[in-house]
Structure 1
Amino acid sequence: MKEIVLIIGGIYGTLAVVFGAFGAHALKKRFSEDQLKSFETGVKYQMYHAIMLIISGIVFPFIGVSQQLIAWFFIIGIFLFSFSIYGLTLSASAGKKIKILGPITPLGGLLLILGWIFFTINIAEIASYL
C-alpha cells in the first residue's frame, strides 16, 4: 500500500503541474475569470493533497484500517473534488455544462476532510510513541 500511495501522490502532483500550466496558458483565453479561478482551485487542492499523500506514504506503514482509510480518502477525494471541477469548468466553457458533476465536488471535499481527520488522529498516535 505504501508504494501505491507514493506513486499516486507523485502522479497527482505531476498532473497538478501539467493542469496548472494548461490552465495558465491554454485556457486563459477560453475561460471566464470565474472559470479560471475554479480551475485553479482544483489544481491547488490537487497539489496540496498530492503532497499529503506523499507525506502519508513516508510516515505511515498502512498496517491498520485507519491508516489505509487516510490513503483512500485522499486518493478518491482528490479525484472527485479536483477532476469534477475540471470537468465542470471545461464543459461550461464549451457551453455544455455537465451538471451531474456539481454534487460530486462536495463529496470529494468531504473525503478530503475525512482524510485530514484520520491523518490527525493517526499522526497523534505515532507522535506519542516518539
Structure 2
Amino acid sequence: MERILAIIGSSFGFLAVLLGAFGAHALRERLAPADLEIFETAARYQMYHALAILFVAAVVGRQPGALGSWAGWAFVLGTLVFSGSLYLLVGTGIRGLGAITPIGGLSLLAGWALLIAHLVRMR
C-alpha cells in the first residue's frame, strides 16, 4: 500500500512542477490574471498534497493502520478533484466545474483529520 501511495505522491509532485512551470511560462500571456491565479492555486495545492501523500506513505510503512491508509487515499482523491477541477475550469472555461472544487477540499480536510488520528494512535 505505501509503495503505491509513494508512487502516486511522487507522480503528483512531478506533475505539479511541470504544470507550475507551464503556467508560469506558456500560459502567462494567454490567460487572464484571475485564471492564471486559479491555475497556480491548483499547482500549489497539488504540490502540498503530493508531499502529504509521501509523508503518509512513509508513516504507514513504519506503522501500518487503516486510518493512515485512508488518509493517503483521501489526499489522492482530494487532489484529483480539487486541483483537477481547477485545471479543467481554466482549460475549458466551464465555470460550473468550480462547484465541485469544494468536494475536493473536503476530501483534503478529511485526509488531514485521518492523518492526525493515525498519528495520535501510533505507538
The answer to whether the Cα contact below 8 Å between 1:87 and 1:98 also exists between their aligned partners in 2 is no
CA distance in 2, matches of 1:52, 1:81: 15
For structure 2, which runs of at least 5 residues remain unmatched after alignment? none
The equivalent of 1:14 in structure 2 is 14
Cα displacement string for residues 2-35 of structure 1 (whole angstroms, at most 9, x for unaligned residues): 1000000000000000000000011101111111
**Counterpart of 1:89 in structure 2: which amino acid?**
V
Alignment-derived partner of residue 104 in structure 1: 100
Counterpart position of 1:56: 56
Give the 3-state SS of the residue equivalent to 2:30 in structure 1: coil
Identical pairs, percent? 40
Higher Rg of the two aligned structures: 1
Q: How far apart are residue 60 of structure 1 and its match?
A: 1.4
* Structure 1: runs of 5 or more not aligned: none
Aligned-partner Cα distance in 2 for 1:12–1:102: 21
TM-superposed CA distance for 1:98, in Å, is: 5.5
Q: Is the 1:81–1:109 contact (alpha carbons within 8 Å) kept by the matching residues of 2?
A: yes
Tell me if structure 2 keeps the 8 A contact 1:10–1:54: yes
Give runs of ≥4 in structure 1 deviating > 4 Å: none
- Whether 2:79 is the aligned partner of 1:78: answer yes
Q: TM-score, normalised by structure 2?
A: 0.93
How many residue pairs get matched? 122
Alpha carbons 2:74, 2:107 under 8 Å: kept: yes
Write the distance in 2 (CA, Å) between the matches of 1:65 and 1:121.
Answer: 10
